[in-house]
Each structure stands twice: as C-alpha cells, then as structure tokens.
A and B are shown apart, each in its own frame.
Chain A
Amino acid sequence: MKEPVSSVKPAIHSFVDRFFGDAGLGDDDDMFATGYVNSMFALQLVQFVEGEFGVTVDSDDLDLDNFRTVSAIAEFVERKQAASSVAG
C-alpha cells in the first residue's frame, strides 16, 4: 500500500539522521555534498529504501537525483510505489 510522502520523509530521516548527527540534515540538503558519508552509505541507503518501502532499486534507478536529498528519496519512493501499484 502506498505511503503518503508525509510518512515517508520521517522514515527516511530516522535512517539517514544516524549518519549526520548534529549536522541537522534538512529535507533538501545534499547528503553526498556534506562529507559526512563513507563508502558504505550509498549501498546502505539502497538497502534501506528497498527494505523500508518495499520497492526495488534497479540499475536504471541509480541516479544521484533520486538519492541526493530526503525529499528526492521520498519522491522516488512514491514514484516506484505508484508504478508498482499500477503494474500490480
């Protein structure tokens, strides 16, 4: 079932904020430009998105614009869930 974006963003924050601590990551802050993330983070983010929201991140989805900010991830999740519900 599709989650509204309003509940998706808090869920994303609950995951990514662990990596950014007191940096106070805003919805539109570029995570990859902060210098706070290491080489493991990109894969962990993919695993989180797939596990938390029940979507599959394909190689075609690997576009920084889908993962750069909390807002971008939320929009990506919403698009994937909408596509999945149409296909299903």
Chain B
Amino acid sequence: MLSSSEIARRDEFRSFAAAEVAPRAAASDRAGALDDDLVAKLAGSGYLGAAIPREHRGPGMDDVTYGLLCEELGAGCSSVRSLVTVQNMVAATIARWGTAAQRDRWLPALASGDSVAAFCLTEPETGSDAGAVRTVFEDGGDDWVVTGRKLWVTFARRAGVFLVVGRAGGGPVAALVPREAAGLSLRPVDGQLGLRAAELAEVVLDRCRVPKANTLARPGFGFSHVASSALDHGRYSVAWGCVGIARACLDASAAYASERFQFGAPLRDHQLVRRMLADMQVATDAARLMCVEAGRLRTAGDPRSIEATAAAKYFASTILPGVTNDAVQVHGANGVDPEYAVERHFRDAKIMQIIEGTDQIHQLNLAEIALRGAP
C-alpha cells in the first residue's frame, strides 16, 4: 500500500507528533489555543505548508505523503491537524486559481509560516447550502467593499490572510483579505465541543475594502471553482485526520487493555474487549485504504479523485462515533477523564462529521454517483 519512502516519511511524522504534538494536546485543549512554539516547529519542519509546491518555496509534499502527515498530526492533536489543513487548503487554492502576483505575494509566506491562512465560508444563516452565502461584495472602483459575517473560522485569531467567499453582481466571488484590511474585525469563539485549540473566531467584515486585484478567479466562479477547490483539498486532509483519530484511539485502547487488569486478567484477555479492538482495527485500516486510494488518484490528476476524496472523508468520519465510543468504553471511567486522550478524541470526532461537508451532504452526493447509469 505504501512505498518504502512513504513509510519513512510516516515514521518521521510519527516521531514528531509523539515528541511535539501529543504531549501538548491536553494543555492546548484546556487553553483553547496552540502553543506558539509548536506552530514555529511545525513551520520549521516544513509541515505547516507541506503541500505548497516547490516553485513557490514550499516543501512540495505529494498527496499521499501529505495525507500521512495529516494522519500523524491528527493522531496527536486534531487542532494541530486543523491548522495544517486550513493552511494548505488555502495555499492550494491560491496556487490553483491565483494570479502570478497573488502566488508570489502569499505562497512563500504561507510556506515559511510567516503568515497563517483562514477560510471564510460559513455564515450565521449559511452552512451546508454554501452557495447561498450572504456576504456582499459591492463594486467600489478598484476595490471591493465587503460586508458580512463569517462564523467558526478556524485559526482566524492567528491568520494573516483570509480567503473570503461572498456574492457580487456577477455571482459568487472569492478574494484574499489581509488581516490589516480596514473594516475587518474578529470576535473570538470559545467553548466548542471539540477542536477547542483551533482558535476559532467570527470574522466581521464591515464595509471592508479589498483590492479587486485580490480576487481569485473571475466573479461567478468563487464557489464552483475557488471554494470548491479549497473544500476538496480540506476534505482530503480531514479524511486523513479522521484516520489519525481512529488510529490514536486504537493504539491507546490496545495499550490500556494490556496494562489494565480486571477479574485477575488484563482487559485484552476479555473477549468482549477484543471484539471492540478488532472493530477499531478494521475500521481504521479500511478508512486509511480509501484515503490512500484518493491520494493516488489526486496525484494522477484523475477526475475521480474528487469523488474518491468525498467518499474517503465520508467513510472516515462515519467510523469515528463507533471507534471513539469503543475507545472510551475500553478505558471505562478513565475514558471520560481529560487526562486520557480518548476523552478529547471522542469530542473532536463529532466535529469531523460536520466540517468539510456534513455526513448527510456526502450521502446525497455519493448517492448521485451510485445512481448514475441506473434505469
């Protein structure tokens, strides 16, 4: 399934996650923010902007290797994986649809970690029906005058640039809005069920002036091509992040079941516990196989990669309620104690069923594929 070089990179990522990510995850969860030192180490290791192409001074990580990075970071801390997800989904979108000037301005800074990116799509009244965003881009000569509210923006508090999707006279439009743009302000959002260290904020755009030169693609294509490209990239990363959560739950449960004795024997010797471990193992492996398949198709530029990515994300997120529930169950009362990582994974798992397309939206789209060619 994986080449020797991919396995070597995975082992490198796993070592990094074990040394730098997992040990800080509980504290980050409590603090509601990531440690700046960790973010600097992510950038210094080339992981923050991992998928940014080499011609834009990024590491140019291939799709499967990038996926493996997301699995390992996700196993350690889903908020860290979220940071890498949003950084790369915005960067990939700039690389795909940006002008040469936009690529030169933003991609090296995103690759080095000098800037962090955020993606602004969801609004108070607009979730799954993302094409119905209400944020307005008014014509202001050489500028757009942007007014609207964007909710639950991941790492908005750390971001230097925001990819904002809205609506203009010519249809859906997307533009890069610098943090310092007049009229842009943040309202931090805390206390979410999961991904608590993802530094969420509401982004308020109050007649925010944005140069039209910052527009990605032509007005009219801001959703169908720009936002959709970003979501496709993010979906791939999130799918692997789900695998990371599942793998971490499996590893923690196998270790706990070996160390914990009840009725004079380790939990691992109790058949009902073994059944849970078996189900976790199979579900995790199956989800990873779908992610690898999606990655291979992405690298090949195959149009089926978009459907394979959606299917992988759907499957990987739908295994999580079972896997994380079993992991907590194996841990018993310790499983609901924040000192044990499975408690955090259990909460983070729910978020994965909602972001980058809810399970139900994927069901609708995947059913369309299933029905193609049917009488």
Contact = CB atoms under 8 A, between A and B. Distances in A.
Interface string A48-88: 10110000000110111000000000000000000000000
A39 B131 contact: yes
Given A21-B373, A39-B228, A51-B301, A62 B306 contact: no
Q: Which of A21, A42, A46, A59 has the most CB of B within 10 A?
A: A59
B302 A51 contact: yes
B303 A62 contact: no
Interface class of chain A by DSSP: helix
B220 A64 contact: yes
B306 A44 contact: yes
Given A19-B372, A59-B218, A43 B310 contact: no
B218 A47 contact: no
Which range holds the interface residue count of chain A?
Answer: 20 to 34
B305 A47 contact: yes
B373 A40 contact: no
Contact of B228 (A40, A48, A64): A40
13 contacts: A15-B303, A18-B372, A42-B224, A42-B225, A45-B303, A46-B225, A47-B301, A51-B301, A51-B302, A59-B98, A59-B217, A63-B218, A64-B220
Interface of B: 97-99, 131, 216-218, 220-221, 223-225, 228-229, 232, 300-307, 310, 365, 368, 372-375
Interface of A: 15, 18-19, 21-22, 38-40, 42-48, 50-51, 59-60, 62-64
